[in-house]
Amino acid sequence: MKRNSVWNLLKSMKFAVWILIVLAVVSLISMFIVEFYPININIDDWKGIYSERYGWFFPVMRFLQLQDPYRSWWYQALLGILALSLALCLIDRLPKGIRLFFCRTVDFSSENINRYAEHCSLKTSSDFFDRLPQLLRGYTVHIVERDGVQFFAAVRGRISHFGPILTHSGLLLLVIGGLLAIWGVSTFSGGYPGDIIESPKFDFKVRIDDFKIVYYPLGVGQWVLVDDEFVGKTVRKLSGEKFLIRFYTQGKYTTEEVESSRLRNKFDYEADRGSIKDYISELTIIEDGEEILTRSIEVNKPLRYKGVRFYQNSYDLSMPKITASADSAVIQVAQKPEGIVLDTMNVPLDERVRLPDGTEMLVTDFLPDFKWSGDGAFSASGDMRNPAVELRLFDGDQELYHQWLFLFHDFHGRSGDERYSFRLLNLTNPQTEADYRTILEIKENYGYALIWAGFILGTLGLIFSFYFTPRFVRGIAQREGDGWKVSLGGYSRRDKVQFSREFERIIDRVK
């Protein structure tokens, strides 16, 4: 393709319009793809999880960066091409628009005037030029005399010539602002529900009202807990509300048909991340002590305020705030070493209960989802996945030993010469609540001012283009007796019927 052909193509308004149409179509398609094929790159082994879930379509999604389409290479390339086209359109049209705006051309003849859509010749009084500003009220009039002949040119609505220029400038600023927004500087912050996010980079505060994790319905390709005991993976959905589950036991894979009522895909925030559909945070903007707005944000659905965007990025699994309580623990007390059951006791939490030999036991620290780390015991979630209580044995003020009792497992953490063994049988009225720390990506939009400037310029351009119509009147006047012989002509590029009526009124005033 020749250089001139490429130039003409890029500066063509039709080409820019086609790019805009393509951007609109791919944006709509990407929105549906993100909705029905979501990808969260912040989870462990996300490539393996989604590769198994989406099959052959996953490599295509990775190549096209459909996990974040509006920051993908192809989307930015389309924006870059659109910006180039708009810039060339602006460069090409700016000189012409300026020339038309300041045009005072009087290089015309009677033959030229007679070619106009509206024209006539008439005789008028000697004070014609004194009355001319009133006769052509609303028009800007320029008069030139040549060889005793008066030429005059009048124009109205010439500001409309700047309409396309302002519209192109506004669109160009919007595109540049969008590109700058994509490459804005990101920081990460977050907190628990009730926490406030502040930064010297913006003059408002953000309160975290809520954070929740939404799971997919039970489906194929998910890790599940079977009968609250064994972990397997759903391979295929069968008739009769059953799933084919694959287990890995004794060094080999086995499959089994299991009713869906025996399955849970929400059982461990590390193992079941592939079942998570979305993270949702509810944020409130606070400015000058007043609540401005409250919005729920999700992955790829940010909150925008004053050029700052708040994206839902992930959450902190390691430090949940767990609030757990129970009225009492039902504990079975057995005699060692025979294992003879002595009593089954309903022990209120945080109250000492006396045993037959005079020692006292105290049940504390109810954890609904017991986990152990180097820092000690903690609850990994607020769900009753592995409930446990800590039991302490006292002789007066001296603590003899302590151990954890598990509701779903018979685990004895100690052995030796202790007189008793204990078993947790039940918990009365357990209440649990978990708050996880949401992690937000805070992105400053350097294109914020450009986007607003583009919106204002584009709006002004549309107003100038559609509400102002350029109208031209040309005339030649020659002395004839005690008056003037005048040839008048005029045209308008739009609203020709309306201009025809206006030209008739001008003729009536001239007469």
Residue 481 has pLDDT above 70, yes or no: yes
Q: What are phi and psi of 397, to 5 degrees?
A: -95, -5
* Cα–Cα distance measured from residue 474 to residue 106, given in angstroms and rounded to the nearest whole number: 8
Q: How confident is the model over 165-209, as pLDDT tens digits?
A: 888 888 888 888 878 777 666 788 889 999 999 988 888 999 999
**Residue 303: CB atoms within 10 Å:** 21
Instruction: State the Cα torsion 307-311-315-320 to the nearest 10°.
Output: 50
* Cα–Cα distance measured from residue 415 to residue 405, given in angstroms and rounded to the nearest whole number: 14
Q: Which of 164, 160, 161 is nearest to 13 (CA)?
A: 164
Between residues 268 and 352, the one the model is more confident about: 352
Q: Which range (276-280, 334-338, 505-509) has the least confidence?
A: 334-338
CB 41 within 8 A of CB 119: no
Q: How confident is the model over 10-32, as pLDDT tens digits?
A: 777 788 788 888 888 888 888 78
What pLDDT sits at residue 436? Answer: 83
DSSP state letter for 414 = -
- For 177-275, list the strands marked E by DSSP: 186-191, 196-197, 205-215, 223-226, 230-238, 242-249, 252-259, 263-264
Q: What is the pTM of this model?
A: 0.49
CB 181 within 8 A of CB 451: yes
Q: How confident is the model over 41-65, as pLDDT tens digits?
A: 766 677 787 888 788 888 888 888 8
Burial 225-243, CB ≥16 within 10 A → b, else e: bbeeeeebbbeeeeeeebb
CB 471 within 8 A of CB 502: yes
* Identity of the amino acid at 17: V
**CA angle, residues 45, 48, 52, in degrees to nearest 5:** 145
Category of 48 on φ-ψ map: left (φ > 0), alpha (ψ -120 to 50) or beta: alpha
> How many angstroms from the chain centroid is the CA of residue 44?
23
* Cα–Cα distance measured from residue 185 to residue 348, given in angstroms and rounded to the nearest whole number: 54
Show Cβ contacts of residue 48 under 8 Å, excluding neighbours closer than 6 positions.
Answer: none
Max alpha carbon distance in the chain (Å)? 142
User: Could you tell me the end-to-end alpha-carbon distance of the chain, in angstroms, rounded to an integer?
Assistant: 59
Q: Which two tokens stand for residue 284?
A: 């409130």
Show Cβ contacts of residue 186 under 8 Å, excluding neighbours closer than 6 positions.
Answer: 441, 442, 443
What pLDDT sits at residue 148? Answer: 80
Give the chain's radius of gyration (CA, Å). 40
Strand partners, 454: none
- What are the CB-based long-range contacts (under 8 Å, 24+) for 446-450? 446/180, 446/181, 446/183, 446/184, 446/185, 446/307, 447/176, 447/177, 447/178, 447/179, 447/180, 447/181, 447/184, 448/177, 448/181, 448/306, 448/307, 449/177, 449/307, 450/173, 450/174, 450/176, 450/177, 450/180
What pLDDT sits at residue 4? Answer: 66
> How many angstroms from the chain centroid is the CA of residue 23?
17
Q: How confident is the model over 410-448, as pLDDT tens digits?
A: 765 454 456 788 889 999 999 988 888 898 988 876 677
Q: Which of 30, 152, 195 is nearest to 489 (CA)?
A: 152
Q: How confident is the model over 264-322, as pLDDT tens digits?
A: 887 766 666 677 888 899 999 999 989 999 999 988 788 988 878 898 988 887 677 88
What pLDDT sits at residue 297? Answer: 92
What pLDDT sits at residue 204? Answer: 92
SS3 263: strand
Q: What is the mean pLDDT of the chain?
A: 83
Show Cβ contacts of residue 102 under 8 Å, excluding neighbours closer than 6 positions.
Answer: none
* Cα–Cα distance measured from residue 231 to residue 263, given in angstroms and rounded to the nearest whole number: 9
pLDDT band of residue 1 (cuts 50, 70, 90) is very low
Residues in the chain: 511
HEC-encoded secondary structure of 424-471? EEEEECCEEEEEEEEEEEEEECCCHHHHHHHHHHHHHHHHHHHHCCCE
